[in-house]
Amino acid sequence: MKLPLFPLQSVFYPGETVPLHIFEDRYKQLINDCRKEALTFGIPVYINDSISYGTEVQLVEVVNSYESGEMDVVCVARQVFKVISFENQLEGKLYAGGEVEFLEIENDADEHLRKEVLQKVEALYDIMDVPFTQTPPKQFNSYSLAHKMGLSFEQEYELLLLTKETDRLNFIKSHLEAATNILNEVNRTKDAIEMNGHFKNFDPLDFKDFKL
């Protein structure tokens, strides 16, 4: 399938709301074409000086239009794709495009794994003293909190390429366990530093047991 392409150094997941500020002429033309022709377009992830995978998005609303022609728009992310070919400019257009192939996404995770990951998210938020909104495990998926777990850009991209929900949740679970361990160690070190210099009660030593 051929899609208009709007490469960005960002990762968007299916179901996510995508707010964009449009200011370049080529993308003003793209958004106007989407409005007139109900087109969808792709946002390939620009990473390591290349584009290989991205997410199809659909225009939902033009929130603001400016005299300069700039726009604030809201889109929704739909499907993950692999870039098969790339043209810097589609015929008769200012914007880029290319052939893409959509990935087959499997929602194969059981509720126990969803619940386990949610508990680890809540534990991380608790350590960081960040409010956590309870989510029923049946309504939770790997994409819903992916940007709110402290993943690096590279990790977010790695998550995007995983096609099975079980694999995505296990990936997130491993990250949460590592992050929680690091934060617990940081807090322990912080407490130790803060205690240094305070008056302390030490247990008296029994010198009878000492040997030279």
Domains and CATH numbers, the chain: 2-102 (2.30.130.40), 111-195 (no CATH)
pLDDT of amino acid 186: 78
Q: How many CB atoms lie within 10 A of CB 124?
A: 20
Distant-in-sequence, close-in-space partners of 34: CB < 8 Å, separation ≥ 6: 40, 41, 59
Percent of the chain scoring above 70 in pLDDT: 90
**Helix intervals (H) in the chain:** 25-37, 111-128, 153-161, 165-195
Query: What whole-number distance in Å separates Cα of residue 156 and Cα of residue 177?
Result: 16
**Average of per-residue pLDDT across 103-109:** 92
Residues 36 and 79 sit within 8 Å (Cβ to Cβ)? no
pLDDT of amino acid 76: 98
Query: What whole-number distance in Å separates Cα of residue 133 and Cα of residue 38?
Result: 35
What pTM value is reported for the model? 0.84
pLDDT of amino acid 75: 97
Q: Which of 59, 79, 66 is nearest to 1 (CA)?
A: 79
